[in-house]
């Protein structure tokens, strides 16, 4: 197995990734393996933000545009074993389109919070790490604007592969392309997400997704409130240690 050493990423590459600058508006993402509580917490956060008079817009990828929904179907229902490069390019193309079609336009309206159900860290964990394309390679694929835009804050709900399996059994959902890959794959995904958190420690907040729903919601709100009450959001405000 590759060690963290293998993934020492050039600062020059990491520095390309910046949060968008729109006064009073924010970009957030939820990350975590299947069953980590993303959809649950996303709905609760949207509700909480609306009570605070924010426009809260939830996006999923691929999806959220008609092109994206078609791509989503093509990937998630694929019977072919897509190679990880194909996968990451498909996700990146849908991501790029969603950014220009929806995200950037919405963020231009003051008082907006755009919340992604999965974003670039899913590509890092799934294709970059679990499927071994390489973290650096996935970042390089995202090296052109608008793919260099990253959230102000990413809420990574961390659960174990075992908890994921238990929650999926309870949910009893049919397995899709990614969910049918088994336990070892889930363990690698958790490692991949943990690695992403070490590369972007200011942006990615790792939360204990094993806690009960209310406790997780409290932790989420705690971090989101902190971000929203910052007077100014600078594009590099979340990466102070990358400045020099």
Q: Which residues lie near ligand ADP (CB under 6 A)?
A: 32, 34-40, 167, 170-171, 211-213, 216
Structure tokens at 36: 């980590």
CA distances from 45 to 22, 27, 34, 117, 152 (A): 20, 13, 19, 12, 15
Which listed residue (39, 47, 198, 222) binds Mg ion by CB under 5 A?
39
> Tell me, what DSSP letter sits at residue 173?
P
Per partner kind, with CB cut-offs from 5 to 8 A, the member of ligand ADP, Mg ion, none near residue 37 is: ligand ADP
Q: How many binding residues for Mg ion (CB under 5 A)?
A: 2
43 binds Mg ion (CB under 5 A): no
Residue count (the chain): 244
Residue 200 Cβ, how far from Mg ion at the closest point, in Å?
Answer: 22
Distance of alpha carbon 150 from alpha carbon 173, whole angstroms? 31
Query: By the 8 A CB rule, do 88 and 138 touch?
Result: yes
Measured from the CB atom, the residue of 140 and 213 that comes closer to ligand ADP is 213
| Closer residue to ligand ADP in complex, CB, 18/167 | 167
Question: Is-contact 106 54, C-beta < 8 A?
Answer: no
Site residues for Mg ion per CB under 5 A: 38-39
């Amino acid at each position: 197995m590759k060690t963290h050493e293998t993934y020492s990423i050039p600062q020059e590459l990491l520095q390309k990734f910046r949060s968008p600058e729109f006064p009073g508006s924010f970009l957030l993402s939820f990350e975590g393996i299947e069953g980590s509580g993303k959809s649950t917490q996303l709905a609760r956060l949207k509700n909480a933000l609306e009570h605070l008079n924010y426009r809260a817009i939830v996006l999923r990828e691929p999806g959220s545009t008609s092109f994206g929904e078609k791509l989503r179907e093509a990937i998630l229902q694929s019977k072919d074993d897509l190679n990880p490069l194909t996968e990451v390019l498909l996700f990146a193309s849908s991501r790029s389109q969603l950014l220009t079609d929806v995200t950037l336009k919405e963020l231009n309206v003051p008082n907006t919070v755009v919340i992604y159900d999965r974003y670039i860290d899913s590509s890092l964990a799934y294709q970059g790490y679990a499927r071994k394309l390489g973290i650096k390679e996935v970042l390089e694929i995202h090296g052109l604007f608008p793919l260099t835009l990253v959230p102000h804050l990413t809420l990574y709900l961390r659960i174990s592969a075992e908890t994921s399996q238990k929650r999926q059994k309870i949910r009893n959902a049919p397995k899709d392309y990614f969910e049918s890959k088994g336990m070892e794959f889930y363990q690698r995904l958790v490692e991949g997400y943990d690695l992403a958190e070490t590369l972007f420690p200011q942006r990615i907040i790792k939360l204990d997704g094993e806690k009960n729903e209310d406790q997780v919601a409290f932790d989420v709100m705690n971090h989101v409130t902190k971000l929203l009450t910052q007077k100014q959001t600078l594009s590099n405000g979340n990466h102070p240690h990358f400045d020099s």
